[in-house]
């Protein structure tokens, strides 16, 4: 939904509902000791992907400057665990406790129209992680809260063609892990160090 609040201000609101996904496949347990053969079983799981709500505002300060902001909420608590049912074999069922929390993302940005052909962009965002405790941080998802810093530019070749170039750096607080596995009866303990750089190029042509 988009609402034209004033001649210079637009307000948007969107919502995407939850989605239930059923997946089927095969579980294989290999590299067994004493030369034992690999074990397989039919596997299935059901995951409810979260719903998302986004509130956004765009305001034109003047003919050159444009300010943007949005707040989004994601209901990650719809995934408390990932449960895999194994059948048709001797493998036990598996359950990965996640206990995801609902998250918020807050973003602010600005566009500067330098000329009819060039527009420069910048933005910053805080992105909350659904993983909130070292006890439930899986080794496959060493996630943590993130701060985004992004820069970009857009060039208009003509009324039909444009090219966008963007760069973003993600600052992550070093997440720790202290995850005990019911399956292996062991504990993974430690911390991660991570940073992410992303570069994107997009070419658009309008007929």
Predicted TM-score of the model (pTM): 0.82
- The pLDDT, as a whole number, for residue 2 is 95
Q: What 3-state class would DSSP assign to 122?
A: strand
Instruction: Report yes or no: 128 and 103 within 8 Å, Cβ to Cβ.
Output: yes
First-residue to last-residue Cα distance in the chain: 26
Mean pLDDT by 10 residues, the chain (207 residues): 96 97 88 76 92 98 97 96 84 85 97 97 96 79 87 96 97 80 68 87 95
Ordered by where they begin, the domains of the chain are: 2-17+52-205 (2.40.160.60)
d(CA 75, CA 104): 9
In terms of DSSP bridges, do strands 146-156 and 118-127 run parallel, antiparallel, or are they unpaired?
antiparallel
Q: How many helices (H) and strands (E) does the chain have?
A: 0, 15
Where in 144-185 does DSSP place strands (E)?
Answer: 146-156, 161-172, 176-181
């Amino acid at each position: 939904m988009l609402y034209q609040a004033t001649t210079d201000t637009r307000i948007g609101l969107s919502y995407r509902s939850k989605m239930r996904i059923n997946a089927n496949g095969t579980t294989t347990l290999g590299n067994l000791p004493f030369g034992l053969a690999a074990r397989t079983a039919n596997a299935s799981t059901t995951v409810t992907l979260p719903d998302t709500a986004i509130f956004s505002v765009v305001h034109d300060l003047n003919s050159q400057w444009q300010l943007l902001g949005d707040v989004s909420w994601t209901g990650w608590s719809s995934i408390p665990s990932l449960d895999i049912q194994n059948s048709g074999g001797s493998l036990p069922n598996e359950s990965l406790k996640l206990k995801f929390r609902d998250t918020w993302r807050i973003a602010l940005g600005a566009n500067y129209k330098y000329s009819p052909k060039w527009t420069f962009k910048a933005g910053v965002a805080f992105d909350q992680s659904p993983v909130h405790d070292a006890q439930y941080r899986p080794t496959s998802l060493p996630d943590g809260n993130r701060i985004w810093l992004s820069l970009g530019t857009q060039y208009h070749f003509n009324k039909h063609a444009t090219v966008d170039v963007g760069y973003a750096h993600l600052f992550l607080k070093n997440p720790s892990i202290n995850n005990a596995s019911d399956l292996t009866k062991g504990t993974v303990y430690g911390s991660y160090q991570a940073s992410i750089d992303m570069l994107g190029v997009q070419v658009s042509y309008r007929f």
